[in-house]
Structure 1
């Protein structure tokens, strides 16, 4: 008879393995009433589609997003006229709703636009590849040191007034690098790579630091998840090596729509958050912006980074299931979905039920045909007829004084 080898002994106490996500330490950066950084919850952002010339439409769109839980809202500002319109939007929000934290998106040769809109918003986002636009030359084969330095000087001269304005107002800047819009000299020097993205951000960070401005948030977005992951990881590593502690804004740009857009965003954002990288997120879907917010919160909830909804634990059903699991889960969810903070398990049979739902606050288990066993944590409290299961679950929650009536 063959004897199986014993597992190798280990000094590691597996019961003490840390299951919490430990976020990379970052500074606190203010955006209106919200702070981004590792001492604060991961912040949810989105962006309206409305033209900011449409004061009422843009104001309504911002309010819709904020009421759904979007904590910071971005607006695009393509011209000086749009920048001035943002002042009216901001005031309209204060007068009719709340002073929602706003970010202005400024792109091509945007110094005058950025300086104007910086008076009216809480943060300005610039793209290093477009802020000082470098017109590509088809005949170019490289950049000389003198050419590289001349453009660097032009960038500094263009960026400095904005930095000083934001610094003196106590406002913030996002240095938002996009893989698809790297400056030509970065492409010549580093190629179309994460290294080029990181160096592009660092060039702008160093200018800001030389002007004693540190309210910075950095993003390294790409439409391909592997590129996005590599860029953010490298950025975090380089900042750690340089003693920088700026928060990171995570996102997969142009993720598309539907199920795949959500999966793609989750693969990129969730992977980094699980590694402790990231302080604010935006899921970019080719859908109404309101559709982005539930995805953000689902990612954060799944990772245990924010508690914004009831956590439901439910088995996938099998031949042992003693009731219509999908139907019952729907009934339980509809009755309890407003009880944010609770974990509720719905399990089809006794085989795995009590063990798999051990971390839940309450359990609804098909233990014998026609009856439901209700649990509080690991303890079975009572067995009730299946037809009374949901009502009795509610009564149990009420008995523990953890019930609130839905709005």
Structure 2
């Protein structure tokens, strides 16, 4: 269940003021409007929302429902599905009905590409948000011999976009639903490429064109994304978008992601480099880590990023020294034992320190500490206070007993 909003702090990204002393060490998030997606709110100071996307074919009703449920049960709060055809769009009605009947009403987002007005209008009846890609929503036939776009040509396509987008905007507005304007660096429209180049500016202007159409129709339930597979491009695009929105008096929440990040360790590092950099600057209201793996593998990375930045606390925070010649026990082995015994808990900070030299100081903010005092002896701490010394072989059991004494233990 989503918690209450954290009071947002207004900050101009283009010229950030020095943070008050009492706010040092905490991230001051950019102020954005709240956008409801089903029973989840993006922006408005609410906690950063975790998203993913099922890889089952939407026509497979049972498979799609199972995929959505698996992701939701491990913490994914908003689910995206692809709808490449009208049949897929209609299938969302059955998927939603089955979720309501057999599980819960999970917030759903439909991905619409390639001349998708009819598909988008149909699927808007069955989901909570529709995601469109400005570079693909209206097809622009490339010309091999083109050297420029005239203003008349540019405006003509703009008018066609407005005509095509208007019915969807009005439908979503009437239903109280949301839209994500999702720009991708790799699929910018040809006229944007000719006008602005293959640049973050082209991405931002592409998003702004669609935002302005929505605003003309008094529709502001918008979330914006500007994804790229290259981290520096992705960061620059979001930073520029935040500055431009501040200049224009816009406050739309931003969905962060590094698209096509790959798999394995590098895919996780690449996603973290982009997403965490922006979140640390206060930019971003919802995230997706896009891995070439089962979508269930994305959720732990999302929560790891948010936990590391202090934006959400969904697991135990472990503080552990890297080990050195002073370490009085096998630190890696003991940390593994402590983690195995306590990883199911939430909201705790537990420190595992190899010796008394740095232990009490470095773990001062931890709820509990496990410190090598002398060979074969462990000191257990509650905060900064040493509670007891126990034989090393009893250390983990005694730590659990201490947590139980404080009524902070739950069974796995």
With the length of structure 2 as denominator, give the TM-score of the two structures.
0.95
User: Runs of 4+ in structure 1 displaced over 3 angstroms?
Assistant: 12-17
Change over 3 Å in CA distance of 1:217–1:365 after alignment to 2: same
In the alignment, structure 1 residue 163 sits paired with structure 2 residue 169 = yes
In the alignment, structure 1 residue 263 sits paired with structure 2 residue 266 = no
Q: Which residue does the alignment assign to 1:227?
A: 233
Q: Whole-Å Cα distance in 2 between the matches of residues 224 and 397 of structure 1?
A: 44
Q: Whole-Å Cα distance in 2 between the matches of residues 234 and 14 of structure 1?
A: 25
Q: Which residue does the alignment assign to 1:247?
A: 253
Q: Which residue does the alignment assign to 1:359?
A: 365
Give 1:395 deviation, angstroms.
1.2
With the length of structure 1 as denominator, give the TM-score of the two structures.
0.96
Cα deviation, 1:18-71, whole Å, max 9, x if unaligned, reads 111010000000000000004200000000111101000011000000001000
The alignment of Structure 1 onto Structure 2 pairs a total of residues equal to: 395
Alignment equivalent of 2:219, drawn from 213, 223, 226: 213
Query: What do you get for the CA RMSD once the two structures are aligned?
Result: 1.2
Alignment map for 1:94-105 (pairs within 5 Å): 94-105=100-111
Q: Which residue does the alignment assign to 1:306?
A: 312
Q: Whole-Å Cα distance in 2 between the matches of residues 112 and 304 of structure 1?
A: 42
Q: Which residue does the alignment assign to 2:3?
A: none
Q: Tell me if the contact between 1:23 and 1:38 (Cα under 8 Å) persists in the aligned partners.
A: no
Q: Tell me if the contact between 1:123 and 1:174 (Cα under 8 Å) persists in the aligned partners.
A: yes
Q: Tell me if the contact between 2:35 and 2:44 (Cα under 8 Å) persists in the aligned partners.
A: no
Alignment equivalent of 1:180, drawn from 181, 186, 208: 186
In the alignment, structure 1 residue 335 sits paired with structure 2 residue 360 = no
Alignment map for 1:4-19 (pairs within 5 Å): 16=22, 18-19=24-25
Alignment equivalent of 2:387, drawn from 381, 384, 388: 381
Q: Whole-Å Cα distance in 2 between the matches of residues 157 and 14 of structure 1?
A: 48
Cα deviation, 1:218-270, whole Å, max 9, x if unaligned, reads 00000000000000000000000000000000000000000000000000000
Long gaps (5+) in structure 2:
1-17
Q: Which stretch of the first structure deviates more once superposed, 390-399 or 12-21?
A: 12-21
- SS of residue paired to 1:105: strand
Give 1:334 deviation, angstroms.
1.2
Q: Which stretch of the first structure deviates more once superposed, 269-278 or 138-147?
A: 138-147
Q: Tell me if the contact between 1:365 and 1:374 (Cα under 8 Å) persists in the aligned partners.
A: yes
Q: Which residue does the alignment assign to 1:8?
A: none
In the alignment, structure 1 residue 53 sits paired with structure 2 residue 59 = yes
Q: Which residue does the alignment assign to 1:325?
A: 331
Change over 3 Å in CA distance of 1:19–1:188 after alignment to 2: same
Give 1:14 deviation, angstroms.
10
Give 1:72 deviation, angstroms.
0.2
Q: Tell me if the contact between 1:24 and 1:38 (Cα under 8 Å) persists in the aligned partners.
A: no
- SS of residue paired to 2:395: helix
- SS of residue paired to 1:344: strand
Long gaps (5+) in structure 1:
1-11
Q: Which residue does the alignment assign to 2:13?
A: none
In the alignment, structure 1 residue 142 sits paired with structure 2 residue 160 = no
- SS of residue paired to 1:64: helix
